[in-house]
Amino acid sequence: MKSESTILEMKSITKEFPGVKALDNVNLKVVEAEIHAICGENGAGKSTLMKVLSGVYPYGTYEGEILFKDQLCEFKDIKQSEDLGIVIIHQELALIPELSIAENIFLGNEQASKGVINWNETISKARELLIKVGLQESPNTLIKDIGVGKQQLVEIAKALSKNVKLLILDEPTAALNENDSENLLNLLMELRTQGMTSIIISHKLNEIKKVANSVTIIRDGQSIETIATADITEDRIINGMVGRSLTNRYPERQPNIGETFFEVKHWNTYHPIQSERQIVKDVNLHIKKGEIVGIAGLMGSGRTELAMSIFGKSYGKKTTGEVYKDGKQLDLSTVSKAIKEGIAYVSEDRKEYGLILMNDIKENISLASLNKIASKNVINDSKEYVVAEEYRTKMNIKTPSVNQTVGNLSGGNQQKVVLSKWMFSEPDLLILDEPTRGIDVGAKYEIYTIMNELASQGKGILVISSELPEIIGMCDRIYVMSEGQITGEVEKANATQEVLMKYMTNSRG
């Protein structure tokens, strides 16, 4: 660190939307050449604050002052903040899949004279930037041909091309696996030594601990405190975020495990398009009644594909293998058969695969079990309403009415709606794929509690998760997958991150 000069100061920022005060007198001070983390529950106001900073919400729509390098800023749009070197990378990447890396880097900032693009300059400049961010790809590679991790690096290269002084990253590692996250964080630390300042919004406390020099915690639209490097601990951050201490991040549970009731034998499936590629290789697993079983594995290890191919052949081609429930072989060739046999699958991507965002809560909850609220194919609206109300109360879905459109809910509440939908189908086996992704700490705890409750009712639960602490904290037994195979099976007592990591990176089981 060179000096302790303040690069950015946001003073008593207040931003109101009709009916809600999203930000209430927020203060933020960022020192030059530091990585400054912003933490807070979903809906606490982190993204709103960043939108105020980057000019998405123009000057005049909020109260308070922004000082960048001791200059008062009154941004009318993003362009103006970018001209000063403030660049924001949003959670949803803004890259165009069908264009090349170089074209994406200079999108909106084309290397051209008189409107004619100078391709040589574009490519050579792009190459320099790629070296800077440590990405070994040709600038001509199309974005759609590289993984999310590399795309994230392209975003950073794009920011660097704009002469960035202050880089804002909104949950940069949310969609990345451990390796890519590690890479990205290392890059940020390296850029810091070169004098770049970054603000990083993240839910992943261990990452914050690793890279951040200071953390500002926001809760309910107010800045609670800023903690310096030395004092950063996960507990401290959580305390600040939820306003109370969560002594235990995983609820207590007395497992009451019965007999094996669900078995998968010799399960194989192949990639739907590249039909030579085997995605799941001879997987055997079993689940006992009342047991919470985890599947750990890196992204791309075949976890989701395994679950979806079991759930009514929703994934893959040439799927083979047998599934038994209570000793009886099941026909799971379609999703509706799988649901009838008491299997439920909660997808990792609730917006794409779990919910109909334009429909209301009650229609989403009833969708997988319409037969239960209908007689002779005619839906009983009142029954549907009553059922939805029941789950709203039981699951603590925070909304004034079940007639609310699901798209308007926060991530945690949306996840509760998906869970309600599948609980209403009364499954014996509930497969949860990344059930707490992108959800704040408080809602995570609630979802863990629900999982425990279902297990105590004698249901089997299969959890897929990228967060090792979550798997270790919640599961009675853990399968580890790597390259489509199960490479290890670990009992709770022996489960440590090191053990799991070893199996996860083990290519030959």
Partner 1 sequence: MNSITSLLKKNLKQSSMVIALVLITLLFQVLTDGTLLKPLNITNLILQNSYILILAVGMVLVIITGHIDLSVGSVAAFVGAISAILMINMEMNPFLATIICLAVGALIGAWQGFWIAYVGIPAFIVTLAGMLLFRGLTLVVLQGQSIAPYPESFQKISNGFLPDFFGGTDIHILSIIIGVAVSLILIGLEIKGRNNQLRYNFEVGSKGLFYAKLVAIFAVVNTFTYVLATYKGLPNILVILFAIIVAYTFVMKKTIIGRHVYAVGGNLKAASLSGVQTKKVTFGVFVNMGVLAALSGLIFAARLNAATPRAGNLFELDAIAAVFIGGASAYGGVGTVVGAVIGGLVMGVMNNGMSILGLGIDWQQAIKGLVLLAAVAFDIINKKKS
Shortest distance, CB of residue 382 to partner 1, whole angstroms? 5
CA–CA gap between residue 321 and residue 325 (Å, rounded): 14
User: Could you say which of 26, 37, 164, 355 contacts partner 1 (CB under 8 A)?
Assistant: 355
379 binds partner 1 (CB under 8 A): yes
The per-residue b/e assignment along 483-495, b for 16 or more CB within 10 angstroms, e otherwise, is bbbbbbebebeeb
Residue 411 engages partner 1 in binding (rule: CB under 8 A):
no
User: Cβ closer to partner 1: 187 or 335?
Assistant: 335
Sole window of 176-184, 260-268, 311-319, 390-398 interacting with partner 1 (rule: CB under 8 A): 311-319
The CB-based long-range contact list for 501-506 (8 Å cut-off, 24+ gap) reads 501/468, 503/296, 504/296, 504/297, 504/298, 504/301, 504/480, 505/298, 506/482
For 195, counting Cβ atoms within 10 Å of its Cβ (0-12 exposed, 13-18 middle, 19+ buried), the class is exposed
Exactly one of 27, 260, 278, 371 binds partner 1 (CB under 8 A); which one?
371
DSSP letters spanning 243-299: SS--S-SS---------EEEEEEEEEEE-SSSTT-EEEEEEEEEEETT-EEEEEE-T
Examine residue 248 and tell whether it contacts partner 1 (CB under 8 A): no
The H or E element spanning position 366 is helix 361-366
Nearer to partner 1, 284 or 404 (CB): 404
Stretch that binds partner 1, among 56-64, 85-93, 267-275, 351-359 (CB under 8 A): 351-359
Contact call for residue 433 and partner 1 (CB under 8 A): no
Is-contact 167 199, C-beta < 8 A?
yes
Any contact of residue 333 with partner 1 (CB under 8 A)?
Answer: no
Start-to-end CA distance of the chain, whole Å, equals 45
CB of 407 vs partner 1, minimal distance in Å: 10
Question: CB of 385: closest distance to partner 1 in angstroms?
Answer: 6
* Contact (Cβ atoms closer than 8 angstroms) between residue 34 and residue 1: yes
Residue in 313, 385, 492, 501 binding partner 1, rule: CB under 8 A: 385
Q: Tell me whether residue 228 or residue 370 sits nearer to partner 1 (CB atom).
A: 370
Angle CA 186–188–191, to nearest 5: 110
Burial of 60 per CB tally in 10 Å (0-12, 13-18, 19+): exposed
For position 381 contacting partner 1 by CB under 8 A, the verdict is: yes
If binding is defined by CB under 8 A, does position 314 make contact with partner 1?
yes
352 binds partner 1 (CB under 8 A): yes
Among 45, 354, 412, 488, binds partner 1 (CB under 8 A): 354
Q: How far is the CB of 316 from partner 1 (least distance, A)?
A: 14
For partner 1, which is the closer residue by CB, 275 or 336? 336
User: Quick check: 367 binds partner 1 (CB under 8 A)?
Assistant: yes
Which span sits near partner 1 by CB under 8 A: 42-50, 79-87, 121-129, 381-389?
381-389
d(CA 297, CA 395): 29
Q: Residue 491 phi/psi, 5° resolution?
A: -75, 155
User: Hey, what amino acid is at 357?
Assistant: L
Exactly one of 357, 473, 506, 509 binds partner 1 (CB under 8 A); which one? 357
Q: How many residues does the chain have?
A: 509
CA distance 67 to 58: 15
Which residue in the set 336, 456, 457, 497 belongs to the binding site for partner 1 (CB under 8 A)? 336
Site residues for partner 1 per CB under 8 A: 311-312, 314, 334-336, 338-339, 345, 347, 352-359, 363, 366-368, 370-371, 374, 377-379, 381-382, 385-386, 421
